[in-house]
Amino acid sequence: MVKFTINGKFLSLNVDPDTPLLWVIRDHVGLTGTKYGCGVAQCGSCTVLLDGQAVRSCSVPVSAVQGKKIETVESLAKGGKLSKVQQAWVDHQAPQCGYCQTGMVMAATALLRQNPRPSDADIDAAITNICRCGSFQEVRADIHAAAKA
């Protein structure tokens, strides 16, 4: 049994302890906002917050989250209102295909919680997610917009 909190809900799941957190989130919890991209922690599509830190969930065994707090993109909107980061993404239309964007949004959320006024260098250092469409400039602008909101 692995016990953890996801998006404020306590769960106790009987899963293989080596199962990647990504697949537990998607297949056992039923939250599909977290995406599978590469499976080797390089692209960042699967980024979630683990005790407030952005992590690549495809490389984290579920046994490593015992007693911890996980946040997925589904947790960001409150009462039907998008988070500042999500609203900036909508307002400035950063995504093209959108596949990597939930991971980018989670990484940006972690960054802004730790550094509410990041510089371009701070953003470049923290947002290591890969976007095949090349929307990195738009993502940077969105993070600055969210920081000002």
Cite the beta strand spans of 78-136 per DSSP E: none
- CA dihedral of residues 109, 111, 112, 115 (deg, nearest 10): 160
Query: Would 79 be classed as within a structural domain?
Result: no
The per-residue pLDDT for range 41-64, each reduced to its tens digit, is 999 999 999 999 999 999 999 999
Whether 135 contacts 96, CB under 8 Å = yes
Residues 94, 55 share a domain:
no
Give the domain extent around 44.
2-74
Quote the pLDDT of residue 99: 84
Distance of CA 85 to the CA centre of its chain: 11
User: Residues 128-144: pLDDT tens digits?
Assistant: 999 888 888 999 999 99
93-121 pLDDT, tens digit per residue, is 888 887 889 999 999 999 999 999 999 99
Same domain, 52 and 110: no
With residues binned 3-state (H G I as helix, E B as strand, rest as coil), the percentages for the chain, rounded to 5, are 40, 15, 40
Question: What's the whole-model pTM score?
Answer: 0.94
